[in-house]
Amino acid sequence: MEKQIIHTENAPKAIGPYSQAIKAGNMLFISGQVPFDPVTMEIVSQDVQEQTKRVLENLKAILEAANASFDNVVKTTVFIKDMDDFAKINEVYAEYFKDNKPARACVEVARLPRDVKVEIEAIAIVE
């Protein structure tokens, strides 16, 4: 099976030895996105809802680079620093996944890169 690296300047550069996404067959595996501005590579805000929006905009940019959209997403994993932020994160998340609600896992973790409050990875089906 052929695999293709997906990269866009409209999402943050990888901060380690990994790709923004890999397309393998008709599957797209998007690495966990954090709330970095793609230009400055800085955290957009300390507000969890603003962070969530930036994460989802980063995911959107990678999906678009693979000629896909949120409608193609079949699974997400949401990593959050504090489960008390669950409802606030869901409020923003629901704005992006209106009709297509993918399978999802959400876990609280001890720490995320650069101490952000949310990270989301995704799997999508693409052409």
Catalytic residues: 106
Burial class (CB in 10 A: 0-12, 13-18, 19+), 36: buried
CA distance 118 to 109: 9
> Residue 124 corresponds to which tokens in the numbers above?
């999508």
H helix or E strand, kind and range, residue 60: helix 48-65
CA distance 120 to 76: 7
Number of neighbours of residue 31 by Cβ within 10 angstroms: 19
CA distance 91 to 120: 15
